[in-house]
Amino acid sequence: DAKTTQPTSMDCAEGRAANLPCNHSTISGNEYVYWYRQIHSQGPQYIIHGLKNNETNEMASLIITEDRKSSTLILPHATLRDTAVYYCIVRVGNAGNMLTFGGGTRLMVKP
Amino acid sequence: GAVVSQHPSWVICKSGTSVKIECRSLDFQATTMFWYRQFPKQSLMLMATSNEGSKATYEQGVEKDKFLINHASLTLSTLTVTSAHPEDSSFYICSAPLRGGLGNEQFFGPGTRLTVL
């Protein structure tokens, strides 16, 4: 699986958009970009994933650059409950494969 | 979405005792489940892959005789920490992939916090 690089931590004001970047310059053509988050003392939660096109669901939007070497997860209106560690993971899109977690970005949403 | 449960959610035990942690997929079948371990302020580290009806596959550095895994059915995998010591204190998390599910995502249990005194 391709390696990812994320900032260690970020702050965001409540109600504002949170933009979390991820670099994955060695991504292969058949690898997807997945985002998970882990709220303190809980198991990780799936957020969104994409291959080439931008994706949006009820939780977030995923913007993938045209060369696919980086992506941004957008939480459009961050709330205090969005405070968590966000993990960007790149891997082949097979549900049977395990996930390799990097350090992630610790997002702190402040009132 | 699919639900994965773990039991117990937390456990405190004495050094030298064994602790069993259960991971259940509540509304789907999982031929494969994954066990992770997370130490404070660190990321999740894969320990082993649990396979229904066959032996588990362990990651390098994980002692298979210490961390016994049994995947007895399509909805249950258990992790037994044998002769637990304080250094085994950690947050243990399991996950199960939902094949064919939307996004092909994996669903994680809520975790089990083990404290060995």
pLDDT exceeds 80 at position B103: no
Query: Each residue's pLDDT tens digit in chain A (111 positions)?
Result: 668 999 999 999 999 999 999 999 999 988 999 999 999 999 999 999 999 999 999 999 999 999 999 999 999 999 999 999 999 999 887 656 788 899 999 999 999
Size of interface A-B (CB pairs under 8 A): 61
Q: Is B109 on the interface with A (CB under 8 A)?
A: yes
pLDDT digits (tens, 9 = 90+) for A83-102: 999 999 998 876 567 888 99
Asked if A99 and B49 come within 8 Å (Cβ–Cβ), the reply is: no
Question: β-strand A45-50 against A105-110: which pairing, if any?
Answer: unpaired
Contacting residues of A for B101, CB less than 8 Å apart: 95
For residue A102, the distance in angstroms to the closest alpha carbon of chain B comes to 6
* pLDDT at residue B1, rounded to an integer: 66
Q: Which residues of A75-108 are buried (b: 16+ CB within 10 A; e: fewer)?
A: beebeeebbbbbbbbbbeeebebbbbbbebbbbe
* pLDDT at residue A97, rounded to an integer: 73
* pLDDT at residue B65, rounded to an integer: 95
* pLDDT at residue B53, rounded to an integer: 87
Q: Is A45 on the interface with B (CB under 8 A)?
A: yes
Helices (H), chain B: none
- For residues B50 and B117, the answer to whether their CB atoms sit within 8 Å is no
Q: For chain B, give me the number of helices (H) and strands (E)?
A: 0, 11
Asked if A101 and B109 come within 8 Å (Cβ–Cβ), the reply is: no
* pLDDT at residue B97, rounded to an integer: 86
